[in-house]
Amino acid sequence: KHPGLPPPPLVAMVRAGCLSWLAWPWRRGRRRATPAASDQPPPEAVPGPLAAAEAALPPPLPPPATTPAVGSCLRFCWRQLEREPEEQRRLCKALASQGFAVLGLPEELAASVAEVQRLASEFFDRPAEERYALGRLRLFRDKIVGYRELGGGAARFLEVHAMSGSRAVPVPRTPRALGPAAARLHVALQAAARTLLTWLAEHAEIPPAALLQCLDGASLENLDAGDCGASVLRLCCYGCEVEDCAAPGGACPGVSDAAGPAGAALSGKEGEEEEEIFFDEHTDASFLTLAPVGSQPGLQMRDPSGTGWLEVERGLCGSGGDLVVFVGDFLEVLTKGRYTAARHRVASASRAPGDQPAPRRLSMPFLVRGQPGSVINTAGFADAVGEEQLLLVEDMKYSVLRRFLDLKGRQRFKGERLLSAARREEAEQEADS
């Protein structure tokens, strides 16, 4: 709790919901205002140990009004963070107060980001049959991997996980270098994420092990043979040319017939500026999300007051030099709101009616997640940590808390166009078939 500031909207995850990647809204046009709390269905009763997580949360904030986005974000140099504890404290304070910050990357990591961005662009340009040859979203060692499209190919997504030995799953055949490059970047970002979480834990006077216990090691040294890391590198491409049918055989997986063609129209009254919303407002079901700045600006964050949008990528390097780090649902839950999950969306720049669409946007958010089969147990840290600092959890499976947050997220954030709200269930069915 911070005097003088409104309570963190953690209830958006647990009481009223947090949008996980299992329920991405995706549409074009101005977003609808989020329904008032009184208009939303009441949350279901929470049984067992999850009741403690729900009871620990503050009341929800009212839904924010939508106002134009402006550019504003604190920027930190990674090399300086490594050397200076005071700079680490400044970063932690920024993440505690607004949920996000910008990191200037060292040259080798920036080069790795730029390489994956270039190779991902080549992959998304390949014919539909090659893209879909990787297979739809599916379970691999209880993690989601695979390829997905929306709107006849207007939006394209590849979920990549790293394995030991610089291997990745799935592995695109063309370009052949994409798999190894993505695996190297995955490991580098995993190591950076563990360092960031260590700083955040120490700043909150929490033993770092309490937050790191479910995560993979910095170099994935914990993995069994044939397993993959739990964190996901999501390669995204928005604004692609719409294809008559993106998937071979005349079917377009991931597109709801009931929803109509994605991006069929832009909103806005005649003569007004129009904007494209690729993903509606949501929070991430992660500990942290590390998002290298996209090839075109588009990531927008709610400002701390909840009344406007901040264009955090405006003016930043889109070729690997900068990265936006923001707080996810798990970190907010476990720290009892000390760090608040960042509410964000992806949009294109506003433009006058009749103007040409903006260039397509390539992005690659890295969502830091725990192993699904791991167990969260913070009871062992109770003697070292006050009850206001760390949520007491005893032997709860990571996957149970993840599903709980996903369920609550669907109640909080709703859009006109959704990736299936049950993507994991779909993948499980495909894996069993």
Q: Does the pLDDT of residue 249 top 70, yes or no? A: no
The residue-averaged pLDDT of 122-141 equals 91
| Residue 50 pLDDT | 65
pLDDT-based confidence at residue 429 (cuts at 50, 70, 90)? very low
273 and 348 Cβ atoms separated by less than 8 Å:
no
* pLDDT cut 70: percent of the chain above it: 69
Least confident range from 56-60, 283-287, 321-325: namely: 56-60
- Taking 50 as the threshold, does the pLDDT of residue 149 lie above it? yes
Give the mean model confidence (pLDDT) for residues 89-101: 96
Range picked from 208-222, 341-355, 400-414 for highest mean pLDDT: 208-222
State residue 52's pLDDT score: 60
What number is the average pLDDT over the span 124-131?
93
Under CATH, what is the fold of the domain 9-30+61-432? Jelly Rolls (2.60.120)
For 390, the token pair is: 């760390």
Burial (CB < 10 A; 0-12, 13-18, 19+), residue 208, is middle
Residue 115: pLDDT over 90:
yes
| Residue 271 pLDDT greater than 50, yes or no | no
pTM value > 0.85: no
pLDDT of res. 336: 93
How many other C-beta atoms can be found within 10 angstroms of the C-beta atom of residue 149?
26
% of residues, the chain, pLDDT over 90: 50
Q: Which of 139-153, 249-263, 299-313 has the lowest mean pLDDT?
A: 249-263
Is pLDDT of 261 > 50?
Answer: no
2-16, 121-135, 374-388, 407-421: range with lowest mean pLDDT: 2-16
Checking if the pLDDT of 46 tops 70, the result is no
Q: Are 323 and 292 in contact (CB under 8 A)?
A: yes
Residues 6+ apart with CB under 8 A from 249: none
Q: What is the average pLDDT value for the chain, to the nearest integer?
A: 77
**pLDDT for 54 beyond 70:** no
More confident site: 426 or 338: 338
Position 322 pLDDT exceeds 80: yes
CA dist 17 and 37 (Å) reads 11
**pLDDT grade for 244, boundaries at 50, 70 and 90:** low
Q: Give tens-digit pLDDT for 160-202.
A: 999 987 899 999 999 999 999 999 999 999 999 999 999 999 9
Per-residue pLDDT band for 351 (boundaries 50, 70, 90) equals low
pLDDT of residue 415: 53
4-39 residue pLDDT tens: 444 444 433 343 333 333 333 333 333 333 333 333
Give the CA diameter of the chain: 63
